[in-house]
């Protein structure tokens, strides 16, 4: 015997079911995890460095603009600012050139206190001042206090090239840049004008830059730490806390809540999986409740359906035992009734057994090639004999070519036909001649079977549900004939497993037509 799935694949049978969809989820691949690690590394390590670099660039650009505006230094650079002596030297170039011109043209002006004061005030704006030395004696100094160490070092300038704009840096405690211009008058043979620039005071922006950078780095680190703390809480701790509360609810049996997908990707995936698990648990719980309800209803229906024939069998047996059947005709009628009721009970038991297999997907199928015309001719003949005994008018029409075949389980297709016919016979108005019409048609790639009756019909509101398990219309509920409510659901299950379909049309007080289709078998050439 070839299994069901192999048969479907071999013969191109398609199963229309909502349970055949397989959901594949591949989360957390190694590539994705590696990318996320890079992302976290960037946030934790590189992000503070990036912001620090941006802040440093912004501060330096601002300081560059201020230095350029205040001191007239064109296009300052990081290299120039780090060499503060060079910057200070640049600030006084213009003034030293003017002093050099005065030394060559009118050196006597260096003895003019008013001229020297004006010149010194100009230099004070650049954190510089003037010292005038005449014959080894300082005659003018532009600073109220100046280190004695500076005075002592001025005598060492004898070899200093005063013809250039270069200055001489004096380190140690003094930290100044000195420029010298020599002059000579009729009375002064050895005169010098010194421009002394305080390097530490000339560029206070540099001090502010480092201070601001230190504050900025601290602020960035603190802000980053707070941001990471908030991110970890929001992305990890808070979702995990919600999951903890959700597990407590599940433990207590409460499944009426929702777990939202929050947090970092891994936590969000975990939340999503948890929510799917909750939904599945809830569905299983609801299915169990529904199954318990259906089982109780099934037991009630089967009990009702078995009680009627058993009561009848018991009554007729008691009649035979008591001698009520005192004639051969009456005895024959009693025995025939007992036989029919026994067959009815046997059918109910078979339905119940088949239902149990159907519910666990253990229906034993044996698929084979079936000649449609031959099969339904035999089926119609059996129905004719059975229905004739029940005084039911039966008609049969076959519009399918003799060579047409289907892949099906003959026994189960007969079960489909018998269940539909049996269902039709249950619900016919009292006193009305029952009629059953079986038609087999060719509809393209399918063969279509129609079973028509002249029964009570089915209400429009009930028609979409008649193939659901345990569903019984109002008419069947109120009928003494009852019904298990699984006969048509068995029909639907068998047709779905055959890759077919079943449906119905009906008009109340007129009758119902049941339809089902089976795909034709078509040979596929080996070279295709």
Residues 36 and 125 in one domain: no
Nearest-angstrom CA–CA distance, 378 and 266: 63
Distance CA 79, CA 522 (A): 87
Tell me the C-alpha distance between 13 and 417, whole Å: 20
Q: Does any domain span residue 267?
A: no
Is residue 18 assigned to a domain? no
Q: DSSP letter at 350?
A: H
What region does 136 belong to: left with phi over 0, alpha with psi -120 to 50, or beta? left
The distance in angstroms from the start CA to the end CA of the chain is 26
Co-location of 211 and 115 in the same domain: no
Q: Domain ends where: 180, 202, 224? A: 202
Q: Which residues of 242-264 are buried (b: 16+ CB within 10 A; e: fewer)?
A: bbeebeeebeeeebeeebeebbb
Q: Are residues 69 and 151 in the same domain?
A: no
Q: Do 209 and 198 share a domain, yes or no? A: no
Asked if residues 486 and 298 have their Cβ atoms less than 8 Å apart, the reply is yes
Residues 247, 394, single domain; the answer is no
> 142 and 242 share a domain?
no
Report yes or no on 459 lying in a domain.
yes
- CATH number of the domain residue 188 falls in: 3.30.450
Within a domain: 22? no
Q: What is the pLDDT of residue 202?
A: 58
Residue 513 lies in a domain: yes
H helix intervals, 203-327:
204-232, 238-251, 265-321
Confirm whether 55 is domain-assigned.
Answer: yes
- Whether 71 and 92 map to the same domain: the answer is no
For position 470, what pLDDT does the model report?
A: 66
Q: Is residue 270 part of a domain?
A: no
pLDDT at position 228 is 75
Low-confidence ranges of the chain (pLDDT < 70): 1-45, 63, 66-88, 145-149, 151-174, 200-210, 261-266, 294, 298, 301, 356-362, 470-485, 524-528
Give the β-pairing of 501-507 and 393-398: unpaired
> Whole-angstrom Cα distance, residue 79 to residue 65?
15
Residue 211 and residue 227 in one domain: yes
Find the largest Cα–Cα distance for the chain.
176
CATH number at residue 456: 3.30.565.10
Write the CB contacts of 71 (distance below 8 Å, at least 6 apart in sequence).
87, 90, 91, 126
* pLDDT given at position 196: 85
Same domain? 396 vs 487:
yes
- Residue 527, number of CB atoms within 10 A of its CB: 4
Looking at the 3D structure of the chain, how many domains does it have?
A: 3
Same domain, 110 and 241: no
Q: In terms of domains, do 429 and 495 share one?
A: yes
Residues 46 and 124 grouped into a single domain:
no
SS3 115: helix
Range of the domain at 470: 363-528
- State the DSSP H helix or E strand holding residue 513, giving kind and residue range, or none if neither: strand 511-519
Instruction: Identify the pLDDT of residue 132.
Output: 87
In-domain check, residue 350: no
């Amino acid at each position: 015997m070839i299994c069901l799935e192999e048969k479907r694949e071999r013969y191109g049978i398609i199963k229309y079911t909502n349970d055949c969809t397989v959901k594949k989820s591949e989360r957390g691949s190694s590539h994705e995890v590696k990318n996320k690690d890079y992302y976290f590394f960037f946030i934790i390590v590189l992000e503070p460095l990036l912001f620090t670099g941006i802040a440093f660039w912004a501060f330096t650009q601002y300081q560059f603009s201020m230095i350029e505006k205040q001191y007239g230094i064109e296009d300052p650079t990081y290299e120039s600012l780090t060499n503060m002596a060079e910057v200070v030297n640049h600030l006084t170039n213009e003034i030293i050139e003017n002093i050099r011109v005065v030394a060559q043209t009118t050196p006597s002006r260096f003895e003019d206190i008013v001229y020297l004061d004006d010149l010194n005030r100009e230099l004070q704006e650049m954190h510089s001042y003037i010292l005038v030395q005449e014959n080894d004696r300082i005659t003018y100094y532009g600073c109220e206090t100046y280190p004695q160490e500076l005075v002592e070092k001025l005598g060492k300038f004898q070899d200093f090239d005063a013809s250039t704009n270069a200055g001489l840096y004096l380190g140690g405690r003094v930290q100044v840049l000195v420029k010298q211009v020599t002059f000579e008058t009729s009375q002064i043979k050895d005169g010098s004008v010194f421009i002394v620039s305080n390097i530490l005071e000339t560029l206070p922006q540099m001090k502010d830059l480092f201070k601001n950078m230190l504050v900025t780095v601290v602020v960035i680190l603190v802000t980053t730490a707070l941001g990471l703390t908030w991110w970890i809480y929001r992305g990890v701790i808070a979702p995990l806390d919600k999951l903890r509360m959700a597990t407590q609810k599940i433990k207590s049996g409460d499944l009426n809540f929702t777990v939202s997908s929050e947090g970092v990707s891994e936590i969000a995936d975990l939340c999503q999986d948890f929510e799917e698990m909750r939904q599945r648990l809830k569905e299983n719980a609801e299915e169990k409740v529904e199954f318990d309800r259906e089982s109780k209803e099934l037991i009630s229906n089967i009990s009702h359906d078995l009680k009627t024939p058993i009561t009848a069998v018991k009554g007729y047996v008691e009649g035979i035992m008591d001698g009520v059947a005192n004639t051969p005709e009456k005895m024959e009628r009693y025995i025939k009734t007992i036989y029919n009721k026994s067959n009815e009970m046997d059918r109910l038991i078979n339905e119940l057994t088949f239902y149990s297999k159907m519910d666990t997907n253990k229906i034993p199928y044996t698929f084979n090639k079936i000649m449609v015309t031959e099969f339904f001719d035999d089926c119609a003949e059996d129905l004719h004999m059975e229905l004739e005994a029940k005084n039911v008018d039966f008609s049969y029409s076959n519009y399918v070519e003799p060579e047409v075949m289907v892949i099906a389980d003959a026994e189960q297709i007969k079960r489909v036909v018998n269940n539909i016919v049996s269902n039709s016979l249950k619900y016919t108005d009292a006193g009305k001649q029952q009629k059953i019409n079986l038609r087999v048609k060719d509809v393209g790639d399918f063969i279509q079977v129609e079973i028509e009756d002249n029964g009570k019909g089915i209400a429009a509101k009930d028609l979409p549900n008649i193939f659901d398990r345990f569903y019984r219309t109002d008419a069947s509920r109120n009928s003494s004939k009852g019904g298990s409510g699984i006969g048509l659901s068995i029909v639907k299950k068998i047709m779905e497993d055959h890759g077919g379909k079943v449906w119905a049309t009906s008009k109340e007080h007129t009758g119902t037509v049941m339809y089902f289709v089976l795909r034709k078998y078509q040979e596929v050439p080996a070279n295709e």
